[in-house]
Structure 1
């Protein structure tokens, strides 16, 4: 067997795990026949080894190491880049996935996955932020028994427009407390899921370091604002991708 340089093997695996985790999953589906559902259940793929005959890809949840054969086997280690690209192209075409960008580290594909700096929310998002913070503040008052003033304000406001506990289930102090208690758990779950989805689908693919300042700001504001944070992040990501593509053309 032809000699494989350990340093270049390590660099190749690091590059694939960092910039082409999607392709690793597509290799498992295209060559090994895993379904999208099976791949999702097994977890994120990671290349743990490669030789002239096969790639070895481990899935994070199950820890299974899948052997992905290279057919035909490579004759020399120097073929690896083109073989990986060709296989990625075939797999993406088979599953209708947009073709990847391949090139030097300065190319648009890898550059487009760089961390996205946090951007402050706009006026509408600030209103949403205020509403969510107010809701959690009122929930805290209700659950700690310090809600007398808040319940009194609620009652006076509704009474002023002709709404009382007699014609509206959430009228009066008891109705206010009932409303907060019914809403708290669903609202909290929705906001936690939104923050988790931001990490999974945006921050992690863009190599955002967990618990860094930018990471924490994105997670915190997504928890409080929700959908608006996704729109803002995606807008910045598209802007970054366009800038990377323009820089590539200049070179």
Structure 2
């Protein structure tokens, strides 16, 4: 499959082609891990059995399972293609491919950083997905010399939201979904008190504007919060043997992350740091 690259950063075409070929030939599985970790919603577009637990799915997954290919790369992003979900062939008998963009953050300052950055992104993706870092250049040496951090610290229980900020964010998200339920349930209709209240007090178009905004925001908000749940499980709970997937403690954390987002991440990380300090 031939693909035209944009090369907007004036990267040497020969070097770019060599890098793309090397990644596709020797690091297809690494590319897949990077895609899933940095763009978790891509999972919904991959031809995978999503009924399997995410942890088991990612552990057994290989690049060839989805025909992943790195087709372009700049200083700020990577462009990869995967086989479409369902593997239905088009009129020409070819399998449709889906293009995914993976941001490189922060962007590289020069093309010479590419190897170091790809290694770092692969390492971060494997750690985030709960996979071993073995096989990475320098990973063994780094692991041997690394001290401090949160090594050995394990959060083994659910931590209730802190009263002010955690609770405020969680209640705000819950209130939004309550508003959506009210709109879909027919409670924001002319003649009803909710309609009269929003018509008088809602500053953006009254009751009609309120209904439009709630409907417009629902799917983006839902997608963001589901992505946060996936990210939290892969980056925190997947590496925590004390909180098995599907257990009551795991479910409590998932509900908290859905409603609180970043606040639940911070609460978990703060506890990890506290436990790590007690160990050293």
Which range, TM-score by smaller chain? 0.5 to 0.7
Is 2:213 aligned against 1:179?
yes
How far 1:116 sits from its partner (Å)?
3.3
Q: Distance in 2 between matches of 1:229 and 1:138?
A: 23
| Structure 1 residues 97-116: aligned runs within 5 Å | 98-100=142-144, 109=151, 111-112=152-153, 114-116=154-156
Q: Distance in 2 between matches of 1:116 and 1:193?
A: 23
Q: 1:177 to 1:89 in 2, by over 3 A?
A: closer
**What TM-score, normalized to structure 1?**
0.54
Q: 1:213 to 1:172 in 2, by over 3 A?
A: same
Q: Distance in 2 between matches of 1:118 and 1:89?
A: 28
Which of 185, 193, 200 aligns to 1:144? It is 185
Q: Decide which structure has greater helix share.
A: 1
| Structure 1 residues 1-251: aligned runs within 5 Å | 34=27, 36-38=30-32, 40=34, 60-62=60-62, 94=138, 98-100=142-144, 109=151, 111-112=152-153, 114-122=154-162, 123-147=164-188, 148-158=192-202, 163=203, 170-207=204-241, 208-244=243-279, 246=280
Q: Which is worse superposed, 145-154 or 182-191? A: 145-154
Q: Distance in 2 between matches of 1:157 and 1:40?
A: 46
> Deviation string for 1:72-125 (max 9, x for gaps)?
xxxxxxxxxxxxxxxx999666259842589xxxxx84x33x343221112111
Q: Distance in 2 between matches of 1:194 and 1:210?
A: 16
**What TM-score, normalized to structure 2?**
0.49
How far 1:189 sits from its partner (Å)?
0.8
Q: Is the 8 A contact 1:129 1:225 kept in 2?
A: yes
Q: Which is worse superposed, 88-97 or 184-193? A: 88-97
> Deviation string for 1:46-96 (max 9, x for gaps)?
xxxxxxxxxxxx9512398xxxxxxxxxxxxxxxxxxxxxxx999666259
Gaps spanning 5+ residues in structure 1: where? 1-31, 44-57, 65-87, 103-107, 164-169, 247-251
Gaps spanning 5+ residues in structure 2: where? 1-24, 38-57, 65-131
Larger Rg: 1
Q: 1:242 to 1:93 in 2, by over 3 A?
A: farther
Question: 3-state SS of the aligned residue for 1:118?
Answer: coil
Q: 1:59 to 1:200 in 2, by over 3 A?
A: closer
